[in-house]
Amino acid sequence: MTVRTRIAPSPTGDPHVGTAYIALFNYAFAKQHGGQFVLRIEDTDQKRSTAESEQAILDALRWAGLEWDEGPDVGGGLGPYRQSERREHYEAHCQSLVDAGHAFHCFCTSEELDAMRAEQMAAKQTPRYDGRCAHLAASEVSTRLAEGREHVVRMRVPEEGDCVVHDRLRGDIQIPWAQVDMQVLMKADGLPTYHLANVVDDHLMGITHVIRGEEWIPSAPKHQLLYHYFGWEMPELCHLPLLRNPDQSKLSKRKNPTSILFYRDQGFLPEALLNYLGRMGWSMPDEREQFSLKEMIEAFNIDRVSLGGPIFDLEKLTWLNGQWLKNTLTDEEYRSRLMEWMCSEAFFESALPHLKSRIDVFSEASQWLNPLWLKDVPVSEEALDQLGLEKEVLANTLQYLIWRFESISTWSRELIEAEIRWVADSLGLKLKDVMPVVFIVLSGTRQAISAFDLAVLLGPDRTRARVRAGLEAAGGVSKKGLKRLEKSYQEALQSIDTVKDAN
């Protein structure tokens, strides 16, 4: 058997370090067995998927050094590798489940489903589909379909007993069928859900081992049942522990920068990032902290992954990156990697317009570029005082900015500007009060390119990290204050049309 693994990201945002972590373990496992590593784009959620996000994921994984053998951009014999181009596979397989009686048409409206949910919640039951369309007479189904009634297709699920799913790291996991919902397989828009598409594709693409995050364990019974309905052998499952913030909560952009692009733009080496991710739940047999991807593949043993939630700690990663810079790169490599980071074509393409209008001699350049090159920009108390805002107002403004910047889906100048305006409006401030706040926390100086341009060039994670650091420098918001602020923020969200709604 040739081992085939895959990473199957959904292109709905910035490329997440969690994706690189799962990709790394899939990659190491496949390569160690002389197998193949596939990249499949799971873009069945048409509302949230974007071409930019897909491109960013490909760029980020490639930057990290994880090359795939088959994928949407490199092709392969079992493509296409983008789910939006595989509709006919899902339609045919879904129909075969309906024909065999393993799935049924469901005509319930969203109002009916909401009411069902509300009743179940009131009765303290786990909300789930109650099966009201599961036993409609065939003639009734045909009539409704002929009438063109909107519908979805759901899978049947056993009513009693337990499902036992085997996980390579966790052994048998027992889940009562009563907790497993009659999952929608095909949505009203004719597109499959994750569950159907994922199972069909893993099978058709010959995936032998599904190595993914533990958040997918609850989906495993549905997948196992689908494999059974189709009469297919299921790949071996291996759910890896989720990355955590130092406070043990799930790694999220609220507490840690999570975009792979943040690490690239801050000047981390991809080797060091992969090395660090390789230490998440796994270690070298000799416990050595620094190792290359090649060394990891040679020594890799997935059965040695430990299940305690690995902590993703920026300081530790920074230290490890330092080890790589100090001990591993030759002078020649050091020079070229530094140049590549500081003066890449992409960097200058975006920074040049801001320089051109401002400088007369090159020696003036670094003053403008510094805020982009610096790891962080300490903001002095004095600089914050000079903003002329009350301490509390300043902290609230920064906290609002963090929340709004966390919710921006596309990091564009237009949306950033709209969010800053929204913050000013909702706090009863003027744009000219808030702009200097943004300017000072992003640049750390008095003279820099505009705050909007800085935010665009820094990207979402670096911008957020600076606003968070600014909030800390401003004294932060107390726990109690935060609760109050969150409430008024939610109210403001409801009362003023948010940018998203307006678009």
* Contacting residues toward ligand GLU, per CB under 6 A: 8-10, 42, 194, 198, 212, 216
E strand or H helix at 167, and its extent?
A: strand 162-167
Q: How far is the CB of 2 from ligand GLU (least distance, A)?
A: 20
Single-letter amino acid code for the residue at 133: C
Cis amide bond preceding 80, omega within 30: yes
The b/e string for 107-130 (b: 16+ C-beta within 10 A; e otherwise) is: bbeeeeeeebeeeeeeeeeeebbe
Measured CA to CA, the distance from residue 356 to residue 343 in angstroms comes to: 16
Measured CA to CA, the distance from residue 296 to residue 385 in angstroms comes to: 50
Which of 44/275 has CB closer to ligand GLU? 44
If 0-12 CB within 10 Å is exposed, 13-18 middle and 19+ buried, where does residue 13 land?
Answer: buried
Which of 53/275 has CB closer to ligand GLU? 53
Q: How far is the CB of 76 from ligand GLU (least distance, A)?
A: 18
Q: How far is the CB of 486 from ligand GLU (least distance, A)?
A: 28
Which of 53/198 has CB closer to ligand GLU? 198
Which of 49/463 has CB closer to ligand GLU? 49
E strand or H helix at 106, and its extent?
A: strand 103-106
The owner of tokens 């007369």 is 360
Which of 9/278 has CB closer to ligand GLU? 9
Q: How far is the CB of 91 from ligand GLU (least distance, A)?
A: 20
The b/e string for 391-409 (b: 16+ C-beta within 10 A; e otherwise) is: eebbbbbbbbbbbbbeebb
Q: How far is the CB of 217 from ligand GLU (least distance, A)?
A: 11
Q: How far is the CB of 356 from ligand GLU (least distance, A)?
A: 41
Q: How far is the CB of 198 from ligand GLU (least distance, A)?
A: 5
Which of 79/267 has CB closer to ligand GLU? 79
The b/e string for 475-493 (b: 16+ C-beta within 10 A; e otherwise) is: eebeeeeeeebeeebeebb
Measured CA to CA, the distance from residue 204 to residue 74 in angstroms comes to: 18
| Listed residue (17, 82, 18, 74) closest to 51, CA to CA | 82
Which of 7/157 has CB closer to ligand GLU? 7
| Listed residue (438, 426, 430) closest to 490, CA to CA | 426
| Listed residue (450, 492, 495) closest to 354, CA to CA | 450
- 282 contacts 23 by C-beta, under 8 angstroms: no
- Strands 4-7 and 36-39 turn out to be parallel
Q: How far is the CB of 66 from ligand GLU (least distance, A)?
A: 15
Which of 133/226 has CB closer to ligand GLU? 226
Q: How far is the CB of 237 from ligand GLU (least distance, A)?
A: 10
Residues marked as catalytic: 253
**Distant-in-sequence, close-in-space partners of 116: CB < 8 Å, separation ≥ 6:** 108, 127, 129, 130, 132
Which of 198/245 has CB closer to ligand GLU? 198
Q: What is the largest CA-CA distance in the chain?
A: 81
E strand or H helix at 293, and its extent?
A: helix 293-299
DSSP string, 2-33: --EEEE----SSSPBHHHHHHHHHHHHHHHHT
